Homo-oligomer: A and B are copies of this chain.
Amino acid sequence: MPRGKGERRSRRIPEATVARLPIYQRILVELQRLGAATTSSEELGRMAGVNAAKVRKDLSSLGTLGTRGTGYDPRLLIAQIDRALGADRDWPVVVVGMGNLGRALVNSEGFSSHGFHVSAVFDVDPKVVGAEVAGLVVRHADRIGELALAGAPAVGVVATPASAAQGVVDALVGAGACAILNFAPRVVTVPAHVLLRYVDLSIELQIMSFYLTGRAPEPAGLAPIRSVGVSQPGAAG
C-alpha cells in the first residue's frame, strides 16, 4: 500500500531524536524567515551542531520527508515535526508564579506556539493578583482548585519560590493537570500517572564550567545535545 510523502505509520521515534526535534524546528523556522526554499542535512547539521548523518536518521524516523539530490523543504519539515511532537493538538498551559521568571515564560514565544497556549496565570502577591499579564488577569493561587483541567490534558508550570512548590504542585494535580514542569529549585512529588519534569536554568552553566575547566575536551567536533531536565513518572520524595 503506497503512501504520500511524509507519511509513516507509528514507527517508534527514538528518545534521542525526540530531544533534537525542537532544535531542528527552531532552525527551520529561522531558515524560513531568511527565505530559504530548500535546505540540506548538512546545513541543518551545521546550524544545530550535529553531524549530517544524524540529521538524516532523525528526520527519516518521521517518514520520507526529503528529495534525493535536492534536499528538504523547510515548510514540510516544520509541519511534520509539529505533528510528531503533538503540536497539532491544543495544550492548555497554566502558569503559577508571576515573578520575573513566570512573566518571562508567559511572554515567551515558545509558550504560545507549538500547540500551547497559556490559559490561566496565578500568584499570591496582592500587588500582582488582579493585574493583567500577557492579556490574562492574574488570579490568586488559592483558586487553582477551581480550574477544571480534567477535560483536556493540561500542563502546569511552577515558577514560584522553592518553598511554595510542593503546595502548588498538589493544587495543580488536584485540579486535573496531567503534567508538571517545575522551574522551582526544589524536588517535588506527584502521583504516578502525572508526568513530571524539572528545569534548572543554571544546569547548562554548570555543564559549561565542566568543559571550561579543561578537565575534559568538549565532546566531539560537532557536539551533542544536553540536558536541563529530569523526567520522573511518579517520583518519590
Contacts and interface: CB of A to CB of B under 8 A. Distances in A.
Interface stretch (A71-79, A121-129, A209-217): A209-217
Nearest to A106: B100
Contacts of A99: 104
Interface string A102-115: 01110111110111
A222 B186 CA distance: 19
Which size bracket describes the interface of A in this complex?
35 or more
30 contacts: A15-B224, A19-B203, A22-B202, A22-B206, A23-B230, A26-B200, A46-B236, A47-B187, A49-B231, A49-B235, A50-B230, A86-B209, A86-B215, A87-B206, A89-B209, A89-B213, A93-B205, A100-B100, A100-B101, A104-B104, A113-B202, A114-B206, A181-B205, A195-B208, A199-B228, A219-B231, A222-B233, A224-B231, A226-B230, A228-B229
Closest 4 A-B residue pairs measured CB to CB?
A110-B202, A49-B232, A86-B213, A100-B104
